[in-house]
């Protein structure tokens, strides 16, 4: 984001701050009704912005919304996705539910970002659809231990069943020796979304999609490293080293 022009960079920071705030609500421990009330407060705040009565602490977000014509429905979709995490512990959803979750928490964010990038609408929506899902599926594959520790399993039940895993108890799932087979099906879907997003990026001027190219390349590298490591326990954490990230920025950040 720091490679973007100042006005776009500030808008991206405002979008990120919004996403960070609602994500923290979903991930924090505590009474469910309190978290639902906090998410509902964010819905009211978003509605207030679009009604021209932004709360004082959201004036910068309101300015980004005006400048880049950001869509109210996309902000609300992100909140809806966080609510999915709050209303019940997600454990082995079906593919359709997982895809809806990815659309809300990742592609919804993408639909906001591509307007800041100033992409043509159809191309931007398509990129948000595919790259958002690719990134979120990579997150799920990377974070299975962290998610299990708070009682969540995002791996779809169809993938678990195909691998012969019948339990949906998080710690049982991640300890099962067939976890590699289940994750491979999620990897295949993530790779298809990466391929689709690469094709869209190639059709658009590099200066417009520079940030998206960097994000895609960074997450693709994480996915590749996860595949090389595998998912059999014990699983060493996978992170991009600083020099790897610098190399990705140099390769994709120079127009």
51-89, pLDDT tens digit by residue?
A: 999 999 999 999 999 999 999 999 999 999 999 999 988
Count of beta carbons in the 10 Å neighbourhood of residue 160: 23
| Residue ranges per structural domain of the chain | 1-88, 90-255
212 beta partners:
none
Q: How far apart are CA 173 and CA 157, in angstroms?
A: 11
Mapped onto helix, strand or coil, the DSSP state of residue 173 is helix
Token reading at 243: 């020099």
pLDDT at 245: 74
pLDDT tens digits along 44-58: 999 999 999 999 999
- What does the pLDDT average to over 122-147? 98
Q: Which CATH number fits domain 90-255: 3.20.10.10, 1.20.272.10, 1.10.600.10, 3.30.70.2860?
A: 1.10.600.10
Token reading at 142: 């990377």
Q: Residue ranges of the alpha helices (H) in 69-178?
A: 72-87, 95-102, 108-117, 121-142, 144-149, 157-162, 170-175
pTM: 0.94
């Amino acid at each position: 984001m720091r490679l973007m022009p100042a006005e776009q960079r500030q808008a991206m920071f405002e979008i990120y701050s919004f996403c960070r705030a609602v994500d923290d609500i979903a991930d924090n421990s505590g009474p469910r009704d309190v978290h639902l009330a906090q998410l509902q407060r964010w819905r009211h705040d978003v509605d207030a912005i679009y009604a021209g009565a932004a709360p004082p602490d959201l004036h910068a977000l309101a300015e980004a919304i005006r400048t880049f014509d950001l869509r109210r429905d996309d902000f609300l979709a992100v909140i809806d996705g966080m609510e999915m995490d709050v209303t019940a512990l997600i454990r082995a959803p079906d593919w359709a539910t997982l895809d809806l979750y990815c659309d809300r928490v990742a592609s919804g964010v993408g639909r906001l970002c591509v307007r800041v990038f100033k992409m043509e609408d159809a191309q931007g929506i398509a990129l948000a659809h595919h790259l958002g899902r690719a990134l979120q599926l990579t997150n799920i594959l990377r974070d299975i231990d962290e998610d299990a520790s708070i009682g969540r399993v995002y791996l779809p039940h169809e993938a678990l069943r195909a691998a012969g895993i019948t339990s949906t108890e998080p710690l049982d799932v991640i300890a099962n020796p067939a976890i590699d087979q289940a994750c491979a099906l999620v990897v295949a879907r993530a790779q298809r979304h990466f391929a689709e997003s690469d094709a869209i990026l190639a059709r658009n001027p590099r200066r417009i999609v520079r940030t998206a190219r960097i994000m895609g390349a960074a997450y693709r590298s994480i996915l590749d490293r996860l595949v090389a490591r595998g998912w059999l326990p014990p699983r060493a954490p996978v992170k991009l080293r600083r020099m790897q990230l610098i190399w990705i920025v140099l390769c994709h950040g120079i127009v």
